[in-house]
Structure 1
Amino acid sequence: MADIRSTADDEPRAAAATARDKAVPAAVLLMLAGAFQALQGVAAIADDDVFSARPGYAYDLDVTAWGWGHLIIGAILVVAGLFLFSGSAIAGGVAMALAGMSAIANFAFLPNYPFWTLLIIALDIVVIWFIASSGILES
Structure 2
Amino acid sequence: MASTSVPPGPATGGLPPRQNSGWVTGLVLFAGVVMLVTGLVDLFQGIVAVAQDTLIVTTPNYVFKFDVTSWGWIHIVLGALVALVGICVLRRMAWARYTGMVLASLSAVVNFLWLPYYPLWAIVIIALDIFVIWALAVYRED
Q: TM-score range by the shorter chain?
A: 0.7 to 0.9
Structure with the larger RCO, 1 or 2 (CA within 8 Å, 6+ apart)? 1
1:28 aligns with 2:4: no
1:98 aligns with 2:103: yes
Residue 28 of structure 1 and its aligned partner are, at CA, apart by 0.3
Residue 57 of structure 1 and its aligned partner are, at CA, apart by 2.4
1:42 aligns with 2:47: yes
* SS in structure 1 of the partner of residue 54 of structure 2: helix
- Show the counterpart of 1:124: 129
Structure 1: which amino acid aligns with 2:43? A
**Among candidates 66, 69, 82, match of residue 87 of structure 2:** 82
Greater C-alpha Rg: 2
Tell me if the contact between 1:37 and 1:120 (Cα under 8 Å) persists in the aligned partners: no
TM-score scaled to structure 1, two decimals?
0.79
Tell me the alpha carbon deviations over residues 91-134 of structure 1, each in whole angstroms, 9 at most, x when there is no partner: 1111011001001001001011111211211221121121123x
CA-based RMSD of the aligned residues comes to 2.6
Distance 2:102 2:47 in 1: 23
Higher helix share: 1
Distance 1:123 1:33 in 2: 8
Residue 54 of structure 1 and its aligned partner are, at CA, apart by 2.3
Gaps (5+ residues) in structure 2?
A: 1-5, 9-15
Residue 81 of structure 1 and its aligned partner are, at CA, apart by 0.4
Tell me if the contact between 1:107 and 1:121 (Cα under 8 Å) persists in the aligned partners: yes
TM-score scaled to structure 2, two decimals?
0.77
* SS in structure 2 of the partner of residue 50 of structure 1: coil
| Structure 1 stretches of 4+ moved >3 Å | 14-22
State the aligned residue count. 129
Bigger Cα displacement from structure 2, 52-61 vs 65-74? 52-61
Bigger Cα displacement from structure 2, 18-27 vs 83-92? 18-27
Gaps (5+ residues) in structure 1?
A: 1-5
Bigger Cα displacement from structure 2, 119-128 vs 107-116? 119-128
